[in-house]
Amino acid sequence: MNSAKAIGVSKQFGNVTALHHIDLSVGRGEFVALLGPSGCGKTTLLRLLAGFETPTEGEIWINQERVADKTRTIPPEERRIGMVFQSFALWPHMTIYENVAFPLQYQQHVPAEYRENPRRRVSDMLEMVGLGGMENRYPSQLSGGQKQRVALARAIVFNPNLLLMDEPLSSLDAELRMQMRKEIQHIHRELGTAIIYVTHDQSEALGMADRIVVMRGGQIEQAGTPHAIYYEPQSPFVAKFVGRSNFLQGNWADARTFLLANGERAIPIHVSRDCSAFHAHQVLPVRPDQLKLRLWEAGSGGVLGTVRHAQFQGREWLYSIRVGEEEWEVVTDTREPFGYDQQVEVEVCV
Ligand SMILES: Nc1ncnc2c1ncn2[C@@H]1O[C@H](COP(=O)(O)OP(=O)(O)OP(=O)(O)O)[C@@H](O)[C@H]1O
């Protein structure tokens, strides 16, 4: 069963193609992050799912019902979806209670018990987001984090099947963002509501989502679990955009063997995953945590590197290692740090 589905969806604004033939299916209770650089079409896709825009081509389905194609669009309040925006979008003249209770009046699919006893429902939702007892305050009397919690409570108060979130944490400071991530994960676990979460922050997507959809130029570049997106990028764009990547230079001998160019020698590296997207580029993408360092021993036959920079990061060290003409980034939790100019053997574990 799907909570939301886009089938062959395109969106044109004048001569700008914001989305080009998008196919996306979001399962029940699934947490999907739409990740991509500015202008790639994330918000446009969310607005189409919400019902604020009409597709130029294709169909949108929400909860097994076709809610939009190029000829007609069912309005947002009939789609049983909750929404949270970056700007909170609370009504300043209404109390917190009135803000949260509002969807119980205008949404079409509200369980009768919530309509009949809105006080109880609003109070439960405010408890859930850690704002119990704040019903009578006004938005201006709350901090940024508290306002976003109110926006969350308002989005879930009528028990939507799908929650759409557009950069909900980007106007909060770093500490609050971390706290709110936990809050959103908690709500997702408690309610089992499917979430589509727009962000350009890779750590939010990697940390919270069941599945990440990486977008670029109005198209889906790759979709997969956070682990697959991080360790099995299918294009140089994904390898660069999500996390950091070293691109090792060499030649592909066959589908699983990369010959690393190392001075006069070529060192074979056996690769356990599909890297066909990188064959034409003659590179091997390697995450900084997929490189291991040990002290260099003459005659080892391994890859020789020289430490150029070392930064202590708390639990781990971040190194820049010069290998031939290249500089590789390495993250390691070694307890005995390597010094500047020290010679090390670099092991590639992919
Ligand atoms: N109403 C509109 N009229 C004209 N062009 C638009 C409109 N809305 C979006 N666009 C264009 O469509 C493209 C996709 O925009 P969209 O806002 O979906 O990107 P985004 O990935 O959400 O970016 P950001 O992360 O900066 O919010 C951009 O080129 C944008 O300029």
Select from 205, 231, 257 the last residue of a domain: 231
Range(s) of the domain holding residue 274: 245-348
Q: What is the pLDDT of residue 108?
A: 81
32 CA → ligand 1 middle, Å = 20
Percent of the chain whose pLDDT exceeds 90? 65
Q: Strand ranges (DSSP E) for 255-313?
A: 257-262, 265-270, 283-286, 291-295, 303-312
Task: Report yes or no on 239 lying in a domain.
Answer: no
Q: Are residues 40 and 127 in the same domain?
A: yes
Whether the per-residue pLDDT at 93 is higher than 80: the answer is yes
Identify the burial level of 339 via C-beta atoms within 10 angstroms of its C-beta, where 0-12 means exposed, 13-18 middle and 19 or more buried: exposed
Whether the per-residue pLDDT at 261 is higher than 90: the answer is no
pLDDT interval class at 85 (50, 70, 90): confident
43 CA → ligand 1 middle, Å = 7
Stated pTM of the model = 0.89
Percent of the chain whose pLDDT exceeds 70? 100
Q: Are residues 98 and 211 in the same domain?
A: yes
Q: Is 200 in the pocket of ligand 1 (CB under 6 A)?
A: yes
Task: Report yes or no on 299 lying in a domain.
Answer: yes
Q: Comparing C-alpha atoms, which of 49, 60, 19 is closest to residue 162?
A: 49
Cβ neighbours of residue 87 under 8 Å, at least 6 residues apart? 171
Task: Report yes or no on 236 lying in a domain.
Answer: no
Q: Are residues 216 and 267 in the same domain?
A: no
Whether the per-residue pLDDT at 264 is higher than 90: the answer is no
Q: What is the pLDDT of residue 166?
A: 93
Task: Report yes or no on 237 lying in a domain.
Answer: no
Range of lowest pLDDT (153-162, 181-190, 282-291, 332-341): 332-341
When pLDDT is averaged across residues 273-294 and rounded to a whole number, the result is: 92
Count of domains for the chain: 2
Residues paired with residue 19 on neighbouring β-strands, in sequence order: 11
> Tokens 């109005």 label which residue?
218
Fill in the DSSP letter of residue 128: H
Cβ neighbours of residue 278 under 8 Å, at least 6 residues apart? 236, 252, 284, 285
Alpha helix positions (H), the chain = 42-50, 96-106, 112-116, 118-128, 144-156, 174-191, 202-208, 226-231, 236-241
Q: Is the dihedral of CA 69, 75, 78, 83 positive or negative?
A: positive
- The better pLDDT of the pair 53, 87 is held by 53
Q: Residue 298 has which token pair?
A: 């003459």
ipTM field: 0.97
Q: What is the pLDDT of residue 238?
A: 95
| 148-195 pLDDT tens trace | 889 989 998 988 889 999 998 887 788 888 888 988 898 899 888 999
Q: Are residues 82 and 58 in the same domain?
A: yes
Whether the per-residue pLDDT at 336 is higher than 90: the answer is no
177 CA → ligand 1 middle, Å = 24
Residue with CA closest to ligand 1 atom 13:
18
Fill in the DSSP letter of residue 339: P
Residue with CA closest to ligand 1 atom 16:
41
57 CA → ligand 1 middle, Å = 17
Q: Comparing C-alpha atoms, which of 316, 321, 313, 312 is closest to residue 332?
A: 316
Q: What is the pLDDT of residue 315?
A: 86
| 208-243 pLDDT tens trace | 999 999 999 999 999 999 999 999 999 999 999 998
Q: Is 16 in the pocket of ligand 1 (CB under 6 A)?
A: yes
Cα–Cα distance for residue pair 327/258, rounded to 1 Å: 18
Q: Are residues 226 and 280 in the same domain?
A: no
Q: What is the pLDDT of residue 113?
A: 87
pLDDT interval class at 198 (50, 70, 90): very high
Tell me the CATH number at 52.
Answer: 3.40.50.300
Q: What is the pLDDT of residue 119?
A: 93
**Amino acid at position 291, single letter:** L
Tell me the CATH number at 310.
Answer: 2.40.50.140
Q: Is 38 in the pocket of ligand 1 (CB under 6 A)?
A: yes
Whether the per-residue pLDDT at 309 is higher than 90: the answer is yes
Select from 186, 206, 231 the last residue of a domain: 231
Q: Is 55 in the pocket of ligand 1 (CB under 6 A)?
A: no
Residue with CA closest to ligand 1 atom 6:
13
Residue with CA closest to ligand 1 atom 5:
13
Average pLDDT of every residue of the chain: 91
Q: What is the pLDDT of residue 44?
A: 96
